[in-house]
Structure 1
Amino acid sequence: MIDSHRWIWIVAALLLGGLLYLLAPILSPFLIGVLLAYMGDPLVDRLERWKLSRTWGVVVVFALITLVMAILLLVLVPMLGKQLVRLYELVPEILDWLQHQALPWVQLKLGLSDGFWRFDQLKEAMSGQLGNTTDIVGMLLSKATASGLAFLAWLANLLLIPVVSFYLMRDWDLMVAKLRSLLPRGREGLVVQLFSECHEVLGAFLRGQLLVMLALGVMYATGLMMIGLELGLLIGVLAGLASIVPYLGVVVGIGAALTAGLFQFGVDFYPLLAIAAVFVVGQMLEGMLLTPLLVGDRIGLHPVAVIFAIMAGGQLFGFTGILMALPVAAVIMVLVRHLYEFYKLSNLYGEPARGSDEPPNPA
């Protein structure tokens, strides 16, 4: 009976995985809704403790989310659009700077041959791609609007996200209680413990690391713009987004910012020092203030696990896989940790090898 039960669970898991794979194209709005509900539930619970009804708490949270989205759309997105256009205009000048100043200096210092870089071929290829950018944009827009049905489906998915997240956020505690009541009575404690640890890991990452990412993006962008870096906002936002993997944001950000600073300010020491200081101060604030305050001592996901999970999810399921990557990685990490503990306590780990009851003779 025990073996038959195991096979039933294995078959059920395989069927669920196959169903998710088939439904992947339509799961994105539901997964985004689940993510928003999961992140907003603690705030709604806190509003409930302040004697506000569950429904009104969800309304308040949605009003805050709507306000943030409106600010992004009305303020940040146009500013980023202008900087992207400016970057597009600067690319030919950056290529010329690399060809006539930066790369010859590196070539002289390293003693490389004259034709080592073959930069003319690279510049020609990049210039050709940049020349076709407007055509690519037009092609994408034409494909997006060619099918009215596809456009309506995309719009419906977009409008479905707030609806799904609203109802999930409102009924989150009720659904959790219902699911817990369906657990086998003999295994309820173990399952609840596993899910509590998964919740701790995922919560530490989503609610903690994402807030750290947002704060770093604001600090980097503000600091670079105060220095006068022309692409400061764009580089700061990119560095903040890259901070979803710890320490990757500072590497990406300082590399891009110093390159842009060299192009804009030349070899002037003080602006480059100020750029480096922005990222050093950001890392100090992250280590001493942001991470202890927002993440605490909870165990988050390892940076390598984050990178692999996102890449594997995108490869297997596309955008839906990227949304599912971190929750699945959190569950797998908790299960692997428990399997490691079980292995350390098992006879397989503790029993000596056959025929080795006596220690070997060192002679």
Structure 2
Amino acid sequence: MAIAGAVTAPATRWRFWLGVAAGFLLLLWLLNDILLPFVVGAVLAYFLDPVVVRLQRAGLSRTLATTMVTVAAALISVGTATAIVPPLLGELQTLITKAPQFAVQAVKSIQPVIEPLLGKLGFSSLSLEDLQAEATQWAGEVVGVAGSIVGRLAQRSVAVINLLSLLFLTPVVTFYLLRDWEKLLAAIDNALPLDHADTIRKLAHESDVAVAGYLRGQALVCLVLATLYAVGLSLVGLEFGFVIGLIAGLISFIPFVGTLVGAILSIGTALAQFPPDWLGVAKVAAVFLGGYLLEGNVLSPKLVGDRVGLHPVWIMFALLAGGSLFGFVGVLIAVPVAAVVGVVVRHLMRRYRASSFYRGSVTGG
């Protein structure tokens, strides 16, 4: 009977935790439309908790430190959005509108180089009129799709509720989570199963290191690259250089995508703007080459590091899967979930390599 009970207990426990995980995913899927302010509030609280802890060490109470940090973060967010977002959207719309003209001018500047190559490969020569017509149609479709998406979102009551809650509810959620952060962690710690508490604490610490190392480090990388690209492209005189640089830097959290998209947009714009002054094109290329080398050799190793254990392919898969399953909320939680899954998988692999299933039976010969 004792053996049967020992065998049954682990199986029951596994079924319990699998049921909890399935229930959590189901609840996340059902409440997806209203979770945005809570997820954003939790992300902000996670980012801002170290600042609150430092203020506590300086002698402030937890509530006062939380109030100061929340108010400061809200003011900075509102000020930044008010100052940057409207002109940025205007520049982006103008860039999309002028994209057909830029595409034709860029192709015209490199046409003498690529025409002989196209002839050798058996392709027909480029028609600038057809290219302009295609580019104009593409730009119109992009603007039309963006307008229709905005229109549909504006008509959906859930979207309006999400927007209002994001503006007004997120600061409240952030404040209460920050104020009670230590209490929440203590409550979770007290609820851990006693015979596995040490293992769970160890995995939680490894997950925290991975998540904090990636999120906080990658946020700094994106901020530095956005500033570098925006200022650098503006200084070399590239039209729309500021908005292109910001876009390239802010999407650099997707491996290779930010640099690739920014390089294509900026060099294409440079080919339309600078020739026959090829030095301007070289300066634009140099800005992105410098940013790429700085990210790969200085920023990512110093600010993110290899200790997080997140492979670029795993990050891209997590972002696509999270966005496909849960929309924008899924994108927000994709990387933290991927980090935790990576930590758990590495732990299970260590357990597997230490087990008899992997090692087999050792026989003398």
Please give the TM-score of this superposition, normalised by the length of structure 1: 0.87
2:346 aligned with 1:332, yes or no?
Answer: no
With over 3 angstroms needed to count, the CA separation of the structure-2 counterparts of 1:241 and 1:94, relative to structure 1, is same
* CA apart distance, 1:26: 1.4
Q: Is the 8 A contact 1:344 1:350 kept in 2?
A: yes
Report what 2:174 is aligned to: 165
Q: Is the 8 A contact 1:202 1:300 kept in 2?
A: no
SS in 2 for 1:298: helix
Separation in structure 2 between the aligned mates of residue 66 and residue 296 of structure 1, nearest angstrom = 30
Report what 2:83 is aligned to: 75
* CA apart distance, 1:255: 2.7
Q: Is the 8 A contact 1:239 1:252 kept in 2?
A: yes
Q: Is the 8 A contact 1:224 1:275 kept in 2?
A: yes
Report what 1:342 is aligned to: 351
**Equivalent position to 1:11, from 16, 19, 40:** 19
1:172-191 aligned at under 5 Å gives the runs: 172-191=181-200
Separation in structure 1 between the aligned mates of residue 230 and residue 156 of structure 2, nearest angstrom = 39
1:225-304 aligned at under 5 Å gives the runs: 225-287=234-296, 289-296=298-305, 298-304=307-313
Separation in structure 2 between the aligned mates of residue 123 and residue 138 of structure 1, nearest angstrom = 22
2:120 aligned with 1:127, yes or no?
Answer: no
2:220 aligned with 1:222, yes or no?
Answer: no
User: Which shows bigger deviation, 173-182 or 98-107?
Assistant: 98-107
Report what 2:66 is aligned to: 58
Please give the TM-score of this superposition, normalised by the length of structure 2: 0.86
Report what 1:39 is aligned to: 47
With over 3 angstroms needed to count, the CA separation of the structure-2 counterparts of 1:29 and 1:217, relative to structure 1, is same
One-letter code aligned to 1:9: W
Report what 1:209 is aligned to: 218
* CA apart distance, 1:303: 1.0
With over 3 angstroms needed to count, the CA separation of the structure-2 counterparts of 1:24 and 1:119, relative to structure 1, is farther
**Equivalent position to 1:316, from 319, 325, 330:** 325
Separation in structure 1 between the aligned mates of residue 156 and residue 93 of structure 2, nearest angstrom = 29
Unaligned runs of 5+ in 1: 359-363
* CA apart distance, 1:297: 5.7
One-letter code aligned to 1:26: I
With over 3 angstroms needed to count, the CA separation of the structure-2 counterparts of 1:68 and 1:288, relative to structure 1, is farther
One-letter code aligned to 2:102: I
Separation in structure 2 between the aligned mates of residue 66 and residue 33 of structure 1, nearest angstrom = 11
Q: Is the 8 A contact 1:36 1:165 kept in 2?
A: yes
Q: Is the 8 A contact 2:103 2:272 kept in 1?
A: no
Separation in structure 2 between the aligned mates of residue 186 and residue 292 of structure 1, nearest angstrom = 38
Unaligned runs of 5+ in 2: 1-7
Identity, % of aligned pairs? 37
* CA apart distance, 1:71: 3.5
* CA apart distance, 1:260: 1.2
Separation in structure 2 between the aligned mates of residue 282 and residue 332 of structure 1, nearest angstrom = 31
Q: Is the 8 A contact 2:229 2:287 kept in 1?
A: yes
Separation in structure 1 between the aligned mates of residue 260 and residue 303 of structure 2, nearest angstrom = 22
* CA apart distance, 1:119: 7.0
Q: Is the 8 A contact 2:56 2:65 kept in 1?
A: yes
One-letter code aligned to 2:333: M
1:132-155 C-alpha deviation (Å, 9 max, x unpaired)? 666666655654555678635642
One-letter code aligned to 1:80: L
With over 3 angstroms needed to count, the CA separation of the structure-2 counterparts of 1:192 and 1:119, relative to structure 1, is farther
* CA apart distance, 1:101: 4.6
User: Which shows bigger deviation, 33-42 or 140-149?
Assistant: 140-149
One-letter code aligned to 2:101: E
1:64-108 C-alpha deviation (Å, 9 max, x unpaired)? 322332342233223323321331342231243256454564232
2:91 aligned with 1:96, yes or no?
Answer: no
With over 3 angstroms needed to count, the CA separation of the structure-2 counterparts of 1:136 and 1:322, relative to structure 1, is closer
With over 3 angstroms needed to count, the CA separation of the structure-2 counterparts of 1:78 and 1:313, relative to structure 1, is same
Separation in structure 1 between the aligned mates of residue 132 and residue 283 of structure 2, nearest angstrom = 31
Q: How many residues align?
A: 356
Separation in structure 1 between the aligned mates of residue 115 and residue 38 of structure 2, nearest angstrom = 53
The Cα RMSD (Å) is 2.9
Report what 1:199 is aligned to: 208
User: Which shows bigger deviation, 307-316 or 281-290?
Assistant: 281-290
